[in-house]
């Protein structure tokens, strides 16, 4: 379905894509180039906008609140692997949910790693790698993302 939507981002294909999701609110818009693993673990609030080439790897649950904006090439990852080389050789993976509160803006090229919670009103600067929870109504940026200032 993701490939079909990318080839032809029509309203019909957008509806078919959203039908895969666990939930999607009113006025959700997704630009072409969207990719996900399953879809059924993606929960989108109202008026969510996903710009071009967003990737949501939903082995774990991804919750995105109302009025969120995701820039181009944002990646939200829920899958991880063991750090120990002995454990990793088995190729097992594990999932950690990602939660994004209401009215969050995630800048272009941001990568959100497994288990992260981004609270309401936060802004994530373009190109950031978010590996820890983000406080409400604060600007975070960098690699790794750090608090820059309250908003």
Q: Which residues are catalytic?
A: 81
Which helix (H) or strand (E) is 24 found in, with range? strand 23-24
- What are the strands of the beta sheet with 62-64, ordered from one edge? 23-24, 42-44, 62-64, 98-100, 117-118
Rounded distance between C-alpha atoms, residue 8 and residue 124, angstroms: 30
Q: Answer whether 68's CB lies under 8 Å from 104's CB.
A: yes
- Partners of residue 30 on adjacent β-strands: 50
Peptide bond into 144 cis (omega under 30): yes
Cα-based angle 14, 17, 18 (whole degrees, multiple of 5): 85
Structure tokens at 51: 């710009």
């Amino acid at each position: 379905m993701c490939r079909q939507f990318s080839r032809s981002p029509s309203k019909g294909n957008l509806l078919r894509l959203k039908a895969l999701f666990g939930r999607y609110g009113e006025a959700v818009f997704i630009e072409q180039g969207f990719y996900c693993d399953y879809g059924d673990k993606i929960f989108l609030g109202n008026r969510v906008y996903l710009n071009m080439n967003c990737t949501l790897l939903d082995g774990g649950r991804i919750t995105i609140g109302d009025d969120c904006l995701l820039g181009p090439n944002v990646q939200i990852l829920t899958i991880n692997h063991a750090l120990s080389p002995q454990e990793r050789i088995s190729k097992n993976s594990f999932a950690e949910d990602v939660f994004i509160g209401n009215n969050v803006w995630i800048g272009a090229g941001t990568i959100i790693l497994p288990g992260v919670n981004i609270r309401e009103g936060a802004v994530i600067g373009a190109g950031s790698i978010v590996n820890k929870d983000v406080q409400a109504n604060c600007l975070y940026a960098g690699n790794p993302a750090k608090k820059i200032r309250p908003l």
